[in-house]
């Protein structure tokens, strides 16, 4: 009986079990910032069983020594799920997953500047019969907006702890930890805050009884869910189609009971449609009148800034200028650490070469492993700077403005702004970007977004861009502010963006033509000062992923490439030149085989090998060139790859292999080509068909070839070759 009423028994003394709690909240409330503040470096990222929704967990040590496991759930506005992310969050809260959580506590992070809207989810969560803490975030902004929230009165009316926070500055986190410890150590008794009229009570009773008999929901949650399905066809549909419990077997019975309950309400002239929302907001509005005082302070800083940054004309101009400065800074700031890493790799390579005796093993280590992996490590500073800026833009709230600005373009190609966030995520990596399309309800919009996401220049392309730009694009100043190298990098990103828009426009006539795009509604969060701790934590995590995950692939491929470029050894020729020897190797034979196809693009057989190996991971292109040119070079120690590329000559013509025109053609090829096995695999998983990933590889490779061909041959016709 106690369990049915929502009473949780305290664990016996002496035992220290692992306690499960969850953090939920509306999007853009600082939920992840609170999660990071509580867990720090003790985080683990994976996926929920059977789906590609990200599962983020962390560990918090309780004062009594017990381990508290915290789940950072996807953001949602209510317990009526509208996407897979929403459904996962709701299933965790209602303990409907195959992997049960048995939550001891739920922390609801709310935006204090928009309390009424956030309290809707708070009241729904409270009705689950689980202990709830309201973490009232962004309290510093409320004061600037002339809002005063009586936290004690709010806590008294809700019958739950309310903790004021400024999460990005760490204020209130200790108080939140104390509240977590106190609640997880004591018994909990749910205290209802609602009063239901008799007519509504009678209508809900059969539905509530059905839930108590056919689900594991406690009495409190049964009443709340009965109210929800009575008010929303979407909420009812989620139960009728849910196969994770006995409720699915009795779906027809539930549908009939709900139908009769709605008739009962209509007989009393009570409109059931959206009844829950109207009922909850009526109560919330009354409560906010007593707990929140507001004074007129005029336009806020965010509103004033948005008059410029989201303006129809000024907004896109500001967007281009901001990203131009970012790409310029990536080159300028990263130059010193890149040179330091390059010098360190050269020194280390020389030391290893001097220590090891001549032979196969020495060539494997120096020419294969060190040359390949070292060439990629050089670009780590630029990747770190890229994520530094992207995290700051996300943390300040500007990324949401970018989505708002781009929505105008998206409507023109038949998509909505919901596609913008996955596409922005793809700038870091197409894999999480494609996974983020799960939030798009419309299948047509989702499929088209998946098919164009790889056009966004991910961080794996950055080493290729920066190698070509640093080696062949002069650093001349444009307008006295920007350098040609920074603008070239920006142009590569813009080529990807506009290619994606063009392809989406074509796809809307051929892909699932019958479906219309969904309407885009987005809340713009207030501008915030980014948290240095969170920014550098993101840089650390992304840098670690790049070094460990990409490094393993690069090391393996570098060793294989070294073997292919070194064997078979020439027979009966002791004085053969290294350049001729590598042409006779396995790698040379492969490159020569595909060279006729890529020669019109200005590419030689060495670049051809790189195009093949980079399908495993785009950044492998750099390590491939490093391995081949290092094997070919007379000096055994690693040398600057940029210098090697500048000095490379065609043995037949004596002309440079690489020119600025070839470099630009190669970058354009990498912008447009789908050279990533992980991306192909995730598209197969998300679409549940090989049709779409195969189509993606074919059409993107064709576009890449045509694009590079136009750049190279067009450049030659203009006398740029």
Cα–Cα distance for residue pair 485/675, rounded to 1 Å: 24
The string of pLDDT tens digits covering residues 230-250 is 888 888 877 776 544 444 456
| Residues 155 and 202 occupy one common structural domain | no
Residue 632 resides in a domain? yes
CA-CA-CA-CA dihedral for 692, 696, 702, 707, to nearest 10: 150
Q: Which residues have a Cβ under 8 Å from the Cβ of 676 and sit 6 or more positions away?
A: 430, 454, 458, 460, 615, 617, 618
| Residues 176 and 205 occupy one common structural domain | no
Taking every pair of C-alpha atoms in the chain, what is the biggest distance, in angstroms? Answer: 101
The secondary element (H helix, E strand) that includes residue 642 is helix 641-647
Prediction pTM value: 0.60
| Residues 266 and 380 occupy one common structural domain | no
The string of pLDDT tens digits covering residues 534-569 is 788 778 877 777 677 666 766 777 777 777 777 777
Average model confidence (pLDDT) for the chain?
A: 78
- Give 485-490 contacts, CB < 8 A, sequence gap 24+: 485/331, 486/324, 486/327, 486/328, 486/329, 486/330, 486/331, 486/332, 487/324, 487/327, 487/328, 488/664, 488/667, 489/327, 489/330, 489/331, 489/465, 490/320, 490/323, 490/324, 490/327
C-alpha count within 13 angstroms, C-beta hemisphere, residue 623:
33
pLDDT bucket at 193, cuts 50 / 70 / 90: low
Residue 635 in this model has a pLDDT that exceeds 50: no
* Full domain range(s) for residue 642: 547-717
Residue 653 resides in a domain? yes
| Residues 608 and 491 occupy one common structural domain | no
Sign of the dihedral defined by the CA atoms of residues 445, 447, 452, 456, in that order: positive
Question: Which of 457, 488, 507 corresponds to the end of one domain?
Answer: 507
pLDDT on residue 134: 94
How are strands ordered across the β-sheet holding 162-164? 43-47, 54-61, 67-72, 19-25, 105-111, 132-137, 162-164
| Residues 612 and 490 occupy one common structural domain | no
Residue 324 resides in a domain? yes
Assess contact for 67 and 16: CB atoms under 8 A: yes
Which one, of 173, 170, 246, lies nearest residue 215 by Cα? 246
pLDDT bucket at 671, cuts 50 / 70 / 90: very high
| Residues 496 and 372 occupy one common structural domain | yes
| Residues 272 and 350 occupy one common structural domain | no
Give the domain CATH number at 146: 3.40.50.300
pLDDT on residue 696: 92
Q: How far out from the chain centre does Cα 195 lie?
A: 42
| Residues 101 and 80 occupy one common structural domain | yes
Task: Tell me how far CA of residue 575 lies from CA of 63, 359, 572, in angstroms.
Answer: 73, 17, 9
Cα–Cα distance for residue pair 585/175, rounded to 1 Å: 67
pLDDT bucket at 597, cuts 50 / 70 / 90: very high
Residue 518 resides in a domain? no
- Residue 269 φ/ψ, nearest 5 degrees: 60, 40
Residue 274: left if φ>0, alpha if ψ -120 to 50, beta else—which one? Answer: left
Residue 320 resides in a domain? yes
Cα–Cα distance for residue pair 701/703, rounded to 1 Å: 5
Q: Which residues have a Cβ under 8 Å from the Cβ of 242 and sit 6 or more positions away?
A: 96, 248
Query: 162 or 524: which carries more pLDDT confidence?
Result: 162
The string of pLDDT tens digits covering residues 453-485 is 999 888 778 888 888 888 888 877 776 677 888
pLDDT bucket at 699, cuts 50 / 70 / 90: very high
Residue 11 resides in a domain? no
The string of pLDDT tens digits covering residues 3-53 is 332 333 334 444 445 788 899 998 878 888 888 888 876 666 554 444 445
Burial class (CB in 10 A: 0-12, 13-18, 19+), 717: exposed
What are the DSSP calls for 237-282, one per residue? HHHHS--SSGGGTTHHHHHHHHHHHHHHHHHTT---TTHHHHHHHH
Residue 539 resides in a domain? no
DSSP state of 197: -
Residue 360 resides in a domain? yes
Assess contact for 383 and 542: CB atoms under 8 A: yes
Which one, of 475, 494, 472, lies nearest residue 484 by Cα? 475
| Residues 202 and 161 occupy one common structural domain | no
pLDDT on residue 50: 47
The string of pLDDT tens digits covering residues 132-162 is 999 999 888 887 777 888 889 888 888 899 9
- Average pLDDT of the residues in 206-229: 84
| Residues 499 and 567 occupy one common structural domain | no
Cα–Cα distance for residue pair 38/42, rounded to 1 Å: 9
Total domain count for the chain? Answer: 4
Percent of the chain with pLDDT over 90: 10
pLDDT bucket at 215, cuts 50 / 70 / 90: confident
Burial class (CB in 10 A: 0-12, 13-18, 19+), 187: exposed
| Residues 203 and 181 occupy one common structural domain | no
Residue 516 in this model has a pLDDT that exceeds 60: no
| Residues 351 and 469 occupy one common structural domain | yes
Pairing of strands 43-47, 54-61: antiparallel
Task: Tell me how far CA of residue 351 lies from CA of 378, 481, 642, in angstroms.
Answer: 18, 41, 21
C-alpha count within 13 angstroms, C-beta hemisphere, residue 119:
23
pLDDT on residue 132: 92
Residue 487 in this model has a pLDDT that exceeds 80: yes
């Amino acid at each position: 009986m106690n369990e049915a009423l929502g009473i949780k028994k305290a664990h016996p003394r002496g035992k220290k079990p692992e306690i499960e709690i969850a953090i939920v909240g509306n999007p853009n409330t600082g939920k992840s910032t609170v999660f990071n503040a509580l867990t720090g470096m003790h985080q683990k990222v994976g996926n929920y069983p059977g789906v590609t929704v990200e599962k983020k967990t962390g560990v918090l040590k309780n004062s009594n020594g017990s381990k508290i496991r915290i789940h950072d759930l996807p953001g949602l506005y209510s317990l009526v799920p509208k996407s897979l992310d929403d459904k996962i969050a709701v299933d965790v809260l209602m303990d409907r997953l195959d992997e049960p959580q048995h939550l001891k506590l739920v922390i609801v992070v709310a935006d204090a500047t928009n309390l009424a809207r956030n309290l809707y989810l708070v009241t729904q969560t409270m009705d689950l019969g689980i202990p709830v803490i309201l973490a009232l975030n962004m309290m510093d902004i409320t004061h600037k907006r002339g809002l005063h929230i009586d936290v004690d009165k709010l806590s008294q009316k809700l019958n739950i702890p309310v903790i004021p926070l400024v999460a990005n500055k760490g204020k209130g986190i200790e108080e939140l930890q104390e509240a977590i410890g106190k609640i997880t150590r004591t018994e909990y008794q749910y205290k209802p805050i609602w009063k239901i009229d008799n007519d509504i009570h009678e209508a809900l009773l059969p539905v509530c009884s059905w839930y108590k008999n056919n689900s594991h929901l406690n009495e409190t949650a049964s009443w709340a869910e009965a109210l929800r399905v009575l008010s929303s066809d979407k909420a009812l549909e989620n139960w009728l189609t849910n196969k994770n419990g006995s409720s699915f077997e009795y779906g027809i019975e539930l549908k009939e009971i709900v139908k009769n309950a709605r008739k009962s309400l209509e007989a009393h002239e009570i409109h059931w449609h959206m009844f829950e929302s109207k009922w909850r907001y009526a109560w919330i509005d009354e409560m906010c009148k007593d707990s929140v005082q507001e004074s007129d302070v005029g336009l806020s800083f965010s509103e004033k800034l948005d008059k410029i940054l989201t303006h129809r004309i000024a907004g896109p101009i500001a967007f281009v200028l901001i990203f131009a400065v970012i790409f310029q800074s990536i080159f300028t700031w990263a130059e010193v650490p890149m040179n330091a890493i390059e010098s360190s790799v050269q020194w280390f390579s020389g030391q290893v070469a001097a220590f090891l005796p001549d032979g196969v093993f020495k060539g494997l280590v120096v020419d294969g492993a060190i040359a390949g992996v070292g060439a990629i490590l050089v670009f780590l500073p630029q990747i770190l700077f890229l994520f530094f800026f992207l995290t700051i833009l996300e943390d300040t709230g500007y990324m949401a403005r970018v989505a708002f600005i781009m929505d105008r373009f998206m409507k023109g190609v038949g998509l909505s702004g919901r596609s913008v966030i996955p596409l922005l995520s793809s700038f870091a990596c197409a894999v999480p970007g494609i996974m983020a399309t799960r939030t798009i309800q419309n299948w047509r919009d989702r499929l088209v977004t998946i098919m164009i996401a790889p056009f966004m220049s991910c961080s794996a392309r950055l080493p290729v861009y920066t190698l070509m730009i640093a080696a062949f694009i002069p650093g001349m100043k444009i307008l006295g502010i920007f350098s040609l190298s920074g603008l070239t990098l920006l142009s590569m990103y813009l080529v990807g963006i506009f290619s994606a828009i063009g392809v989406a426009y074509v796809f809307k006539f051929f892909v699932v033509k019958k479906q219309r795009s969904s309407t885009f509604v987005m809340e713009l969060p207030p501008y915030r000062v980014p948290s240095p701790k969170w920014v550098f934590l993101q840089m650390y995590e992304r840098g670690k992923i790049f070094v460990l995950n990409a490094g393993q692939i690069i090391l393996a491929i570098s060793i294989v490439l070294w073997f292919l470029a070194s064997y078979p050894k020439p027979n009966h020729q002791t004085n053969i030149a290294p350049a001729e020897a590598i042409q006779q190797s396995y790698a040379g034979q492969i490159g020569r085989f595909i060279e006729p196809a890529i020669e019109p693009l200005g590419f030689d057989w060495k670049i051809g090998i790189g195009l093949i190996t980079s399908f495993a991971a785009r950044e492998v292109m750099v390590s491939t060139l490093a391995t081949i040119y290092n094997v070919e070079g007379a000096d055994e120690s690693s040398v600057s790859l940029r210098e090697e590329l500048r000095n490379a000559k065609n043995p037949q013509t004596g002309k440079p292999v690489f020119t600025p025109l070839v470099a630009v053609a190669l970058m354009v090829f990498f912008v447009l080509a789908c050279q990533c096995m992980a991306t192909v695999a995730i598209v197969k998983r998300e679409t549940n068909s090989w049709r779409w990933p195969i189509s993606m590889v074919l059409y993107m490779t064709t576009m890449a070839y045509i694009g590079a061909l136009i750049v190279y041959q067009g450049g030659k016709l203009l006398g740029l070759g």
